[in-house]
Amino acid sequence: MSGRRVAIIGAGVSGLAAGSYLQACGFSTEIYEMASIAGGVSVSWRRDGYVFDGATNWLPGSSAALNLHGILAEVIDFSKLDIIEFDEFARIELLDGTIFRVWKDCDLLEREMLRISPHDRAVIRAFTGAVRKIRTFSLPVWKTQELYTPSDLFRLFRDHWRLLFFVLSWRGATIDKFFSRLKSERLRTCMRMIFPHHGFFSLLALLLPVGWMCMRTTGYPIGGSARFNEVLLERYCLLGGSVRFNRRVRRIIIGSGRAVGLELWDGSTVQADAVLSSADGYETLINMLPEATVPAALRGRFGRLDLYPAMLQISFGVRRTFKGLGNKIILQLRRPIPAGDDPGMSTAIIRLCGFDPTLAPRGCTSVIVTLRTSDEQYWIDLRAKDPQRYASEKKRIAEAVTDELEQRFGNIRTSIDTVDVATPATYVRYTNIWRGSYQGWAPTPAMVGRSLPRRIRGLEGFYLCGQWVESGGGLPRAVLSARNTVQLICRDFKTVFTPPPPTAQVQERRA
């Protein structure tokens, strides 16, 4: 046992995972979390008997078909999750009546694309050919790259050269650019709508998820984000960790070029041998650390690098079911909804959560509608400066979305039990997330596969993990990021990195 104490900032997925890894390696940890619950942006909330899930649609690595599963299983007891797989990821519905089904089966998906545009065979085959290759890859995730020895590098090229070649071949084009080669405007629109507003992302950010979907390793855990967090938190606590909720960190205390503790907003201080922040990147690097300790190049990334577009979530508790309509509809709106400088949010992602009985009373459905916006600042400023108008704007958005749902499904308005609107300002309020960007850095061609430093040169004992370190966000990436950073902490404290043993073994040891 190293007996060293690590203070962790943030009980999001990454902070909790980091806690489990550190506890397993013999460190003593405590997590300081500003919110009253764990999970960070991966969150759900209750309203009038309904649960509105704000995050977990799908869990890459949910089955052993992808080796990320093995990493997740180190911090999550999968026997406690009831995972279901859908046959289709989403149904895309265009205003002209086109329906495009995004199947989680490459042959069906290819047939669907050809049905919409038989003249685009070459581009379609190039896309589905790449998707099929993904099932042959495992990811080189067992060791963090900073610790690679020459023999690790040799093994990387020997065992993963086809994956490396694949990444180099596909990462340069954006999603928009690749599909601009399609002759069919309709198919182009459909392909861009699989992940709306991600057109500037690298094509890899579409290929990999679609590839994993077709490998049946992107299931949904019943209970959604809340259940996922519960299982993650349980494991951390079982390993001896603890979380201090409602404790917002104000600054990281530095002594003789070393992070030696935390100062909280309630005025109290915490001493530690090392500090690991899994909190939002801007909050950590710009607000919590003294300016002189963070290199200008790192500070400069805020404002220079692209972010995930922010979003609004309009959640409905509805006294009816939606049988036969699938789990997710991505809908072109009849009337785009303007807000601030955003001329019109024109695509709605509608999750019909009837597949999860824990989210609504019997015979009722939790319906989650997501709109992505290009003007997150409008909402952040409005909430801060004009709360009344902020409230009336939220009502306007809820009305506009209700209209669209009424047109699409009928029998909505009279069946609504409750409505809840979350804006980019809501995400900032509860998780401090910079500019409401709920998944951090966008995986553009320049960023995909890259990470930001996990340590700062000249500042000992300070570490970073989470979605502001790795681009692309996502639950497994948050866990992997924690695992990578803990390997560095172990190296610095001359401790052997040992992943947590299976839950049953920990329980036995404790007994």
| Positions in the binding site for ligand FAD (CB under 6 A) | 9-15, 32-35, 40-42, 54-60, 248-249, 278-280, 283, 431-433, 438-439, 466-467, 473-475, 478
Nearest to 447 by CA among 148, 278, 205: 205
Closer Cβ to ligand FAD, 116 or 479, answer by number: 479
Nearest to 481 by CA among 253, 276, 332: 276
Least separation in angstroms between residue 202's CB and ligand FAD is 17
Strand ordering across the sheet containing 59-60: 59-60, 218-221, 83-84
Contact 37, 51 (CB under 8 A): no
Closer Cβ to ligand FAD, 113 or 475, answer by number: 475
Distances (CA, A) of 347 to 332, 410, 424, 428, 486: 5, 19, 17, 23, 40
Closer Cβ to ligand FAD, 27 or 430, answer by number: 430
Query: Coil, strand, or helix at residue 236?
Result: helix
Closer Cβ to ligand FAD, 57 or 117, answer by number: 57
Least separation in angstroms between residue 429's CB and ligand FAD is 10
Closer Cβ to ligand FAD, 311 or 490, answer by number: 311
Least separation in angstroms between residue 261's CB and ligand FAD is 14
Least separation in angstroms between residue 115's CB and ligand FAD is 27
In single-letter form, the type of residue at position 60 comes to P
Nearest 10 degrees: CA dihedral of 85, 87, 89, 91?
Answer: -140
Closer Cβ to ligand FAD, 42 or 117, answer by number: 42
Contact 370, 349 (CB under 8 A): yes
Least separation in angstroms between residue 284's CB and ligand FAD is 8
Q: What is the DSSP string of 364-414?
A: -EEEEEEEEES-HHHHHHHHHH-HHHHHHHHHHHHHHHHHHHHHHHSS-GG
Closer Cβ to ligand FAD, 124 or 380, answer by number: 380
Least separation in angstroms between residue 321's CB and ligand FAD is 23
Closer Cβ to ligand FAD, 38 or 203, answer by number: 38
Least separation in angstroms between residue 83's CB and ligand FAD is 13
Least separation in angstroms between residue 491's CB and ligand FAD is 22
Which residue carries 């966000």 as its tokens?
A: 473
In this structure, the number of other CB atoms found within 10 A of the CB of residue 84 comes to 12
Distances (CA, A) of 158 to 136, 140, 142: 15, 11, 15
Tokens standing for 241?
């960790």
Helix, strand, coil share of the chain (percent; to 5): 40, 25, 35
